[in-house]
Structure 1
Amino acid sequence: MTTKYELVFIPSPGHGHLAPTVEMAKLLVDRDDRLSVSVLIMKFPFDSEIDSHFESLAASIAARIRLVLLPLQDPSPRTSPLLFVHHFVESHKADVREAVAELSARSSPRLTGLVFDMFCTSMIDVAVEFGVPSYMFFTSGAAFLGIMLHLQSLQDEQHMDLTRLKGPDAELDFPCFANPLPASKFLPLEVFMEEDRRIFLGHALRFRETKGILVNTFAELEPRALEALASMGAPPVYPIGPILNIKVQSEKGFEILDWVDQQPDASVVFLCFGSRGTFHENQAKEIAHALERTGYRFLWSLRQAPAKGMMKAPCDYPDPAEALPEGFLDRTAGLGRVIGWAPQVAVLAHSAIGGFVSHCGWNSTLESIWFGIPVATWPQYAEQQLNAFQLVVELGLAAEIKMDYRRDHAIGSDCVVTADEIEGGIRKLMEGEEARERRKKVKEVSEKSRKALAEGGSSYLSLAHFIEDVSSQ
């Protein structure tokens, strides 16, 4: 059948947003052979890995998906990551407009909408210019979406001074949670910094202008949060997840997987902190002490933080021993492995993994659920704190290491989580009746995640509703 209509996807820069966007595009074109998708990709000037990611994604896409690498922009550095991303996305607006104009000028396929990422809301203006609907792909969970909308409403409609929530006893009631939440543990730092708050909640305000919001979650994972969104004045919400790249064939051959193959089932603690997850030497030493004390087998992906004030991608330590306690690698040689970048999906899919110490990025959260691996939470950024809190409070699927961890690579600030805290979290993850109950719950939710995507499942049907809406434009 001839392609009849086209969607333009605009993900935020970074592999953590690009990869699920491409996976969603694959899902759409597989479900409807009338549809084609163009993905407009912004490249960070300091992201040396994007070219390899681009090539890998390009090799895996269907014929009706087109990846377009936009011209490189390099706006002046800003004092916070949120500000930098905001100005970086704005610098690509003209390039997006030009690409959309080219598509709009064609008679076939007909351009029927722009689907932009949660941090690209200014692209609504481009959709308005060309008279097409705008949709948002929210790459995180429904609870985080609800929190953003609620905070924005408190500020703009109820005129609450959000900075007063800094106190240790401050709590907030959110429609998407059953109980009040302590602000000190989860509230994004952006709420307390004026310009960042304006941008963070400005995105939430513009969410309301869209024709619909696709959310990378499934109804069985966040039923309360999804139900609450309607009461917050959100546009129609389509829970279509979990959207994951779970194919691990290309990961085979990694030497570290040979070591994992030799370990007993559910015996290894896997520590991995995402594409931005890095530690300075003082924190790395605390993790090492904790691992040595627990005596558990471990696989630890340790990456080096950029220099203070540098907006750069993480890298592997040239010699991990330099960041670790003297003799640690020798003493634990028969117990675990310290590596750089890790093939996370392939590792989580392995039967030897018994627990996952994670930064709680949403992709990692969904992967851990899909493979039935319980998590010890150590979120490192605002959106990860919100996701982790949803995971812990609502579902009881995770043990806690540190929920109120605060860091800012751009200005070099960092707090240190002690070896005692890390050891305690790992033991809660791996030992005792609570750990056994948690493992059982995770396995149950894992089964639900797979059923949601199967024919007739909740996410399968939700995606069908979205396709029907788009095709009727």
Structure 2
Amino acid sequence: MKKAELVFIPTPVISHLVSTVEVAKLLVDRDERLSITFLIMKLCSSSKIDSFIDSVRTASNRIRFIDLPQDEPGPNQPNKTFFSLSETQKPHVKEEVSKLVSQSESSPDTPTLAGFVLDMFCTSLIDVANEFGVPSYIFLTSGAAYLGLVFYIQALHGEQRVDPLEFKDSEAEVVMPCLANPFPARVLPSFLLNKEWLGSVLAQARRFRESKGIIVNTFEELESHAINSFSNGNTLPVYPVGPILNLSRDGHRDVESDEFKDIKQWLDDQPLSSVVYICFGSMGSFGVDQVKEIACGLEQSGHRFLWSLRQPPPKGKIEPPSDYTNPQGVLPEGFLDRTANTGKIIGWAPQTDILAHPSVGGFVSHCGWNSILESIWFGVPIAAWPLYAEQQLNAFQIIVELGLGVEIKMDYRKELKSDGNEINVISAGEIERGVRCLMELCDEKRERLKEMSGKGRKALENGGSSFTWLGRFIQDSVDHLP
């Protein structure tokens, strides 16, 4: 029985790395022929990423991690960071893969290189896979509808000569094969309406088409319309293998920490399904003006809340938000005293533990794809407040396509003034309305969400849709080896 090696290259941000590692675990658990080597690029030093990787190193002797050298950073180019990183790392990737191939050739017991699995932002490394004569697969950390959207925009631009920038500030509705409902142009992700970003995304879509197939963190039952839109024979294989979630808290803060115990204790003291949880992901934060409106909206709603409030990075810095040492300075005067019995402000949030807690009845979210999958898994409805990336599309899916959540502002775009505050500040009244709609959601929607949660869990079980698709990927990527 021939052993096979897959080289995984993730984008080095925690939201991408975690789900990529979870896919690797599924693969090695499923097929004993498989080994996986992760090549880890460095974007900036991150203790969160380092501790996560350290916790996984011991989990399987068939998954290993190799750190690539960190090149000297050039000038800050926020619009090109992810796309340019894999380009600059090509020589290092080539060097490490050459070592793997040499080992394989010199020892009959060493696995044969079977292919590359590349993060959606690492498409330039298809060139390196081609040099070694092996196929490349893409791992998409977004949903299938996102894949359909970029393919649609690329075809529109390339074949019909339509400039997507024309959709900016348009009231038009776009009909796309990947969505069952017309899609308002005002909900298009910002990067498709920005000249600097658009070129990178169109190039990304073209490179997607050069791969051998695309693994997607979704499941058939959740995005059946989008997945069926790829079965017309004109697109490459798409493997929906999700929901891929990290539920074991690998690399997160110690569950025995005082901080964690304090959050859990507070939730334990609240009535069933009474708490709205507010969190905007690992990169989400707001300026003082918007923070004050959120605080007033929460207070006016009268609902209990657990709010993960993070401090924006210093101006001009590309780094994740940090915890406030004292949030009192950014909150309305007296807010903490007035809400002492009904609310709790935290920094970092153990999200899966919070969503799993029976006292949590709703989630105000930025609609990152991981957060959407987690909310569905735990059956917690979402009030959508997307910020960036493809989150507007994700919000549209949750509200319009699936009918599993409510809207705070589906077409919100995070744009900053020179003082660091948001250009578009959502008022306390809008936030209050959204929170009330969320927490008073009808039984029919909650039942539908519970049903989808069950389908997601079944998809991963033996014989489920994602289980079957993962088997098909193994067949396509490994079984062809001599």
State the TM-score bracket (shorter-chain normalisation): over 0.9
Matched, 1:349 2:356: yes
Match of 1:298 in 2: 305
Match of 1:362 in 2: 369
Match of 1:321 in 2: 328
Contact 1:142 1:222 in 2 (8 A): yes
Query: Which whole-Å CA distance do the structure 2 matches of 1:18 and 1:206 have between them?
Result: 21
Mapping of 1:453-464 within 5 angstroms?
Answer: 453-464=460-471
Matched, 1:35 2:34: yes
Please tell me the root mean square deviation across aligned C-alpha atoms, in Å.
1.8
Query: TM-score with structure 2 length normalisation?
Result: 0.93
- CA deviation digits over 1:304-360, x for unaligned, max 9? 111222212210111111110011111111101001000001111111110011111
Aligned-partner SS, 1:238: strand
Against the structure 1 CA distance between its residues 197 and 302, is the aligned structure 2 distance closer, same or farther, given a 3 Å change threshold? same
Match of 1:273 in 2: 280
Matched, 1:146 2:145: no
How much has 1:151 moved relative to structure 2?
A: 0.4
- CA deviation digits over 1:414-466, x for unaligned, max 9? 321111111111111011xx432221111010000000001110000110111
- Among 159, 166, 169, the alignment partner of 1:167 is 169
Aligned-partner SS, 2:364: strand
Match of 1:336 in 2: 343
Q: Which amino acid letter does the alignment assign opposite residue 369 of structure 1? A: I
Aligned-partner SS, 1:348: helix
How much has 1:247 moved relative to structure 2?
A: 2.2
Match of 1:208 in 2: 209
Contact 1:306 1:312 in 2 (8 A): yes
Mapping of 1:431-446 within 5 angstroms?
Answer: 431=440, 434-446=441-453
Against the structure 1 CA distance between its residues 69 and 323, is the aligned structure 2 distance closer, same or farther, given a 3 Å change threshold? same
Contact 1:46 1:313 in 2 (8 A): no
Aligned-partner SS, 2:349: coil
How much has 1:48 moved relative to structure 2?
A: 4.6
Q: 28-37 vs 84-93, which deviates more?
A: 84-93
Against the structure 1 CA distance between its residues 239 and 43, is the aligned structure 2 distance closer, same or farther, given a 3 Å change threshold? same
Against the structure 1 CA distance between its residues 400 and 469, is the aligned structure 2 distance closer, same or farther, given a 3 Å change threshold? same
Match of 1:383 in 2: 390
Contact 1:6 1:113 in 2 (8 A): yes
Match of 2:73 in 1: 75
How much has 1:47 moved relative to structure 2?
A: 3.5
Q: Which amino acid letter does the alignment assign opposite residue 330 of structure 2? A: A
Query: Which whole-Å CA distance do the structure 2 matches of 1:422 and 1:232 have between them?
Result: 45
- CA deviation digits over 1:8-39, x for unaligned, max 9? 11111200000001011100000001100011
Contact 1:75 1:91 in 2 (8 A): no
Query: TM-score with structure 1 length normalisation?
Result: 0.95
In the TM superposition, structure 1's runs of 4+ consecutive aligned residues that sit over 4 Å from their partners are 408-413
Matched, 1:241 2:245: no
Aligned-partner SS, 2:124: helix
Contact 1:268 1:352 in 2 (8 A): yes
Against the structure 1 CA distance between its residues 121 and 232, is the aligned structure 2 distance closer, same or farther, given a 3 Å change threshold? farther
Question: Any stretches of 5+ residues in structure 1 without a counterpart?
Answer: none
Against the structure 1 CA distance between its residues 252 and 362, is the aligned structure 2 distance closer, same or farther, given a 3 Å change threshold? farther
Aligned residues: 467
Query: Which whole-Å CA distance do the structure 2 matches of 1:424 and 1:462 have between them?
Result: 41
- CA deviation digits over 1:20-71, x for unaligned, max 9? 0101110000000110001111222254532223323334x31100012221
Query: Which whole-Å CA distance do the structure 1 matches of 2:348 and 2:322 have between them?
Result: 8
Match of 2:426 in 1: 417
Match of 2:107 in 1: none
Contact 2:191 2:198 in 1 (8 A): yes
Query: Which whole-Å CA distance do the structure 1 matches of 2:147 and 2:278 have between them?
Result: 27
Aligned-partner SS, 1:251: coil
Q: 352-361 vs 96-105, which deviates more?
A: 96-105
Percent identical residues:
54
